[in-house]
Amino acid sequence: MSGDTRMPLTNPWLTGPTPTKRLDRERLEERILNLLSSQNMCVLATTGPDGPLATPVRYYPLGFAVLFSASPRSPKMRNIAADPRVSVGIFAPLVGLASSRGAQLFGTAKVLDPEHPDRAHYWEAFRWENEHVERGRPLSEPPEDTLVVIEAERIVYTEHWLRREGFAPRQFWRR
């Protein structure tokens, strides 16, 4: 026995200086869209009279937008009414640094009531059926809930696996 107590290095590409190379826009957008469509939970950050609020929310993606429904009387909706600027954190399950993958979306929350003219465009992507059935409601009566849409204005995307190919693990996207 040699007495060496170091663990085997499973991801040697994580060592050394962090690369700074940027992905081209098309490749970055593909990775972001893959993350958004492969997850369904986010953390919505709002600010209100009592300070910041981070709320776990089930979401549905549509391009670079995230959609969710909420009770108009909830703390997150009160905060959005006071200041619609929000941040949304979406992340894949973490096994280790090599698997670290997530995005911070920054945008302005739009609250669409059932009569709003833009609602139909977003409603088609909103998968309300599962939650509706969980609440014991008939599928023949679609919900009239408030729909919240956050179109990302900018995104900070993090994926440490990008380092394998010489790219920076943190990438930046703007609309």
Model pLDDT for residues 133-167, shown as the tens digit of each residue: 888 888 888 877 789 999 999 999 999 999 999 99
Residue spans per domain, the chain: 17-92+101-174
Q: Which overall architecture, per CATH, does domain 17-92+101-174 show?
A: Roll (2.30)
d(CA 15, CA 64): 32
Whether residue 1 is predicted with pLDDT greater than 60 in this model: the reply is: no
Instruction: Spell out the residues 6+ positions from residue 157 whose beta carbon is closer than 8 angstroms to its own.
Output: 28, 31, 32, 35, 102, 103, 170, 171, 172, 173
Whether residue 40 is predicted with pLDDT greater than 80 in this model: the reply is: yes
Model pLDDT for residues 114-140, shown as the tens digit of each residue: 889 999 899 888 888 888 888 888 888
d(CA 85, CA 36): 20
Model pLDDT for residues 47-93, shown as the tens digit of each residue: 998 899 999 999 999 999 999 999 889 999 999 999 999 999 999 99
